[in-house]
Amino acid sequence: MLDFTNKSVIITGGGSGIGRAASLAFAKQGALVHIVELRVEQANAVVKEIEAAGGKAKAYACDVSDQQQVAKVFAEIGTINVLVNNAGISNIGKADTTSEKDFEKVFTVNVKGVYNCLHIAIPAMKANGGGVILNMCSVAALSGIADRFAYSMSKGATYAMTMSVAKDYLKDNIRCNSVSPGRVHTPFVDDFLKKNYPGKEKEMFETLSKTQPIGRMGTPEEVAGLLVYLCSDEAAFITGCDYPIDGGFLKLNT
């Protein structure tokens, strides 16, 4: 089960957090993992981890918001069996406190970046007889979360793109799903707490952890496990779905 031997898997933003965990998880199942990352030094570090464990991976420097860069890198990769659109950025702010510059930055990376990868990868998948696309969404797309206006906008767009792609390419044997994590303990969370709550990091970490009814944040590895399953042959009957992985945040909060 969950065998990715001889399969080519692209993971954008695969150098840290959930992307890193996904890169390691797919490689463990035999995939050739292509880590497409703005910070290529992080991607190279993950490649070394994978190779040290006996897996196969390659790193590519790429800004997903630049379609020409995406086209060049994907052409270099060649065969694409699986695309995981994970690269993204966050932003703190409400509609009236989010600057135009910040709004456009989030849109350019989180929405246009996903579009660019879809635009380039889908023709390659069609030519290869099909493939699987997994988009990283968020509970922010499905529930009101304070001070996350631009980020929520971008993940709402990601959700909509997922459903559209799933519908449009059924006859091309291309499956498309998304995953919506709740709060996951990544380096981003630690940096956020250090920047916004100096001296109160531990207290705020506990507060944020308890917003999940299960009482803790998720781990990148838990999310990666779901990604691997949804992209596997065992999930061949699943398309056009979003999967919350949120410790009960969406359904059990009262």
Q: Which residues are part of the catalytic machinery? A: 151
- Angle between helix axes 17-28 and 220-230 (nearest 10 degrees) is 50
- Classified as helix, coil or strand, 140 is helix
- Classified as helix, coil or strand, 174 is strand
Alpha carbon distance 236, 138 (integer Å): 23
The DSSP letter of residue 110 is I
Q: Are 174 and 247 in contact (CB under 8 A)?
A: no
Q: Are 37 and 61 in contact (CB under 8 A)?
A: yes
Please state, as a whole number, how many other Cβ atoms lie within 10 Å of the Cβ of residue 30: 16
Alpha carbon distance 50, 224 (integer Å): 15
Q: Are 57 and 35 in contact (CB under 8 A)?
A: yes
Within 8 A by CB and 6+ apart from 60, the residues are 34, 35, 36, 37, 40, 43, 73, 76, 77
Q: For the stretch 65-87, what's the b/e string if a residue is b when 16 or more beta carbons lie within 10 angstroms of its beta carbon?
A: bebebbeebbeebeebbbbbbbb
